């Protein structure tokens, strides 16, 4: 009997201990966050999911879901460790409770891993589809459609490998994620094939090598083309102010907070002529009866230079007082020539979900703001140049930035992207770099320069290829200046959006429907479908 069991190819491989799959899941989660931005061991992301694929290879889909969830919780707990600092410093939360909140957030975002593991196992088992392409298709669909409080696309880990990331102007950041999953799946299948001594083991490796070569060639060609276009484009001289004052400092001494922005701006203007100076998010509080008018010259420091700055704007609309987290563009004479109100608000920070229906929620959470989301998506116009503006973590949402890049009612396609941010909430952690890296992919997706001004860093000028060379350190007082190209035209991604995510979602949904229909087929309804053993996971 023992010999028959060992010889049967249909039986799952023996495991030395039932904890080993869970250990493999934990190991995969550790590799995920070590390979991500902040820890920067990007090469680990090429193999981070191999242990998880191995762990679920002979499990039921339900058990695969739990295994993937463990990997996701570990990965997000390590990558989002800054949440503890946030809650400890700014909510005065005891550390055990802060850690619990981190784990809850990691569990919520970790559902991407869980759904991926479940669907990958189900489709490779029931449909006989190869894990080589099932795994990247399912993951890309999950990244696209599963909601996350802080989206953190796996592809962002490769931000230093510019030839690899340039496909984002066609596929968006999802394409880079797809490629990473393709690498992981290929490595897993090749290792499995070598272990089983299969003759065709190198076929998927050869196909992958061809795909990777095509991606790298495309990247090299596009970098040259974009650099050439940027060199010949009209430019705008920008200056960025970073006072190294956190959000709390503004409330302690508003006059000092504003004065330091003015002083650093004067230093910038004295050093060189500038077309625009950019201040961070929520530098000022303003009570505006309308979105027009002239600001006092002293408010902006008598700079005689256009300034784009963050402000908390209070207005009276529809008979009620409303607060907006806004960006205000004033010309050299202080005349307001455009405003943008933040549209994607931070839950529990800038509003409480369902707080409009149940206002008492705000009395239960006194630290939560009560802001109204913006409605207008038109770019701001300076000297006949359209500028797309977003605020805070809006720049990590590809769909939001793409909507703003459509040009609004007048279809004025923006020539550059500006972001005003306050990352001081997160302390001296890896979060500011994670934020910058995620934002940098908007430059590649739309082939536009990205100007980011932050209170405490990291401020940066990202070029249309996605380079992060021109930036400040975090938690330092600094200024930054440079000339950005004002680019024209639209990319394939700018026109089609997340088409890759929709395609992967459709394939995944079709496969799941077929699997569920097959599971419901009554006995004797027809001959069983043949499965290709080599394509099984």
pLDDT in tens, 411-439: 999 999 999 999 988 888 999 999 999 99
Q: At 281, which helix (H) or strand (E)?
A: none
The model's confidence at residue 368, banded by pLDDT at 50, 70 and 90, is low
Alpha carbon 29 to chain centroid, angstroms: 18
What distance in Å separates the CA atoms of residue 15 and residue 7, rounded to the nearest whole number? Answer: 16
Domains and CATH numbers, the chain: 18-228+498-521 (no CATH), 235-354+362-487 (3.60.110.10)
pLDDT on residue 288: 73
Q: What is the pTM of this model?
A: 0.89
Please identify which residue in the block is written with the tokens 């060609």.
221
Torsion of CA 378, 384, 386, 389, to 10 degrees: -80
Quickly state the pLDDT bin for 350 (edges 50, 70, 90): confident
Report the distance separating Cα 206 and Cα 132, nearest Å.
Answer: 12
- Phi, psi (deg, nearest 5) at residue 330: -115, 140
Tokens coding 223:
């970098």
Structure confidence at residue 149 as a pLDDT band (50, 70, 90): confident
Task: Retrieve residue 189's tokens.
Answer: 């299948």
pLDDT band at 363 (very low <50, low <70, confident <90, very high): low
Whose CA is closest to 465, among 479, 481, 480, 485?
A: 485
Listed range (145-154, 434-443, 501-510) with the worst mean pLDDT: 145-154
Query: CB-side exposure of 254: number of CA atoms within 13 Å?
Result: 8
Average pLDDT over residues 516-532: 58
Residue 530: is its pLDDT beyond 60? no
81, 83, 86, 92 alpha-carbon torsion, rounded to 10°: -110
Cα within 13 Å of Cα(201), Cβ side: 13
Q: In whole angstroms, how large is the CA radius of gyration of the chain?
A: 26
What three-state secondary structure class fits 470? strand
Q: How far is CA 167 from CA 64, 222, 228, 241, 346, in A?
A: 31, 9, 18, 32, 30
Type and span of the H or E element at 186: helix 173-196
- What is the structure's pLDDT at 95? 87
Nearest to residue 91, comparing CAs of 421, 426, 392?
A: 426
CA distance linking residue 328 with residue 335, whole number of Å = 10
Q: Which residue has the higher pLDDT, 3 or 262?
A: 262
> What is the arithmetic mean of pLDDT over 244-263?
85
The residue with greater pLDDT, 322 or 531, is 322
**Is residue 530 exposed (0-12), middle (13-18) or buried (19+ Cβ within 10 Å)?**
exposed
Q: Quickly list DSSP for 498-534.
A: SHHHHHHHHHHHHHHHHHHHHHHPPTTSSPPPP--GG
Residue 261 has pLDDT above 90, yes or no: yes
Q: What is the mean pLDDT of the chain?
A: 88
207-229 average pLDDT score: 97
Say what the pLDDT of residue 11 is: 40
Which H or E run contains 50?
A: helix 50-55
Per-residue model confidence as pLDDT tens digits over 332-348:
999 999 999 999 988 76
Q: What does the chain come to in residues?
A: 537
């Amino acid at each position: 009997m023992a010999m028959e069991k060992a010889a049967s190819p249909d039986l799952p491989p023996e495991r030395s201990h039932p904890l080993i799959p869970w250990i493999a899941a934990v190991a995969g989660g550790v590799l995920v966050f070590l390979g991500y931005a902040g820890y920067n061991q990007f090469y680990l992301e090429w193999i981070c999911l191999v242990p998880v694929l191995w762990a679920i290879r002979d499990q039921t889909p339900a058990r695969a879901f739990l295994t993937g969830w463990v990997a996701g919780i570990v990965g997000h707990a390590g990558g989002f460790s800054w949440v503890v600092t946030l809650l400890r410093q700014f909510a005065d939360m005891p550390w055990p409770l802060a850690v619990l909140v981190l784990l809850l957030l990691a569990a919520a975002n970790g559902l991407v891993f869980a759904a991926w593991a479940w669907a990958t196992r189900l489709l490779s088992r029931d449909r006989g589809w190869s894990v080589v392409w099932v795994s990247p298709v399912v993951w890309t669909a999950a990244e696209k459609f599963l909601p996350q409080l802080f989206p953190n696309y796996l592809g962002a880990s490769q931000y230093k490998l510019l030839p690899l990331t340039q496909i984002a102007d066609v596929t968006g950041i999802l394409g880079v994620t797809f490629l990473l999953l393709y690498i992981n799946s290929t490595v897993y299948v090749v290792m499995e094939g070598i272990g089983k001594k299969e003759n065709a083991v190198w076929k998927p490796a050869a196909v992958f090598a061809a795909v990777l070569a095509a991606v790298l060639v495309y990247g090299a060609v596009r970098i040259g083309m974009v650099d050439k276009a940027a060199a010949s484009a009209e430019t705008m001289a920008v200056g960025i102010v970073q006072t190294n004052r956190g959000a709390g400092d503004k409330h302690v001494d508003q006059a000092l907070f504003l004065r330091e922005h003015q002083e650093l701006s004067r230093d910038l203007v004295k050093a060189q002529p500038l077309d625009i100076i950019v201040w961070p998010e929520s530098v000022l509080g303003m009570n505006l009866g309308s979105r027009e008018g002239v600001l006092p010259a002293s408010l902006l420091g008598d700079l005689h230079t256009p300034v784009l700055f963050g402000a908390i704007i209070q207005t009276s609309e529809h008979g009620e007082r409303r607060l907006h987290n806004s960006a205000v563009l004033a010309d050299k004479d202080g005349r307001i020539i455009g405003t943008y109100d933040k549209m994607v608000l931070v839950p529990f920070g800038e509003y409480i979900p369902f707080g409009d229906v149940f206002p008492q929620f705000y009395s239960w959470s006194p630290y939560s703001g009560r802001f109204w989301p913006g409605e207008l998506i038109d770019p701001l116009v300076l000297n006949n140049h359209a500028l797309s503006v977003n605020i805070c973590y809006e720049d990590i949402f590809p769909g939001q930035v793409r909507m703003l890049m459509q040009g609004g009612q007048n279809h004025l396609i923006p020539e550059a992207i500006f972001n005003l941010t306050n990352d001081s909430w997160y302390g001296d952690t890896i979060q500011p770099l994670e934020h910058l890296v995620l934002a940098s992919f908007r430059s590649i997706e739309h082939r536009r320069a990205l100007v980011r001004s932050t209170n405490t860093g990291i401020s940066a000028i990202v070029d249309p290829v996605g380079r992060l060379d021109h930036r400040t350190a975090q938690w330092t007082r600094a200024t930054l200046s440079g000339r950005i190209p004002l680019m024209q035209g639209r990319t394939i991604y700018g026109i089609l959006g997340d088409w890759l995510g929709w395609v992967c979602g459709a394939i995944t949904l079709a496969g799941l429907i077929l699997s569920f229909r097959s599971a419901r087929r009554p006995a004797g309804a027809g001959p069983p479908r043949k499965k290709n053993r080599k394509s099984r996971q």
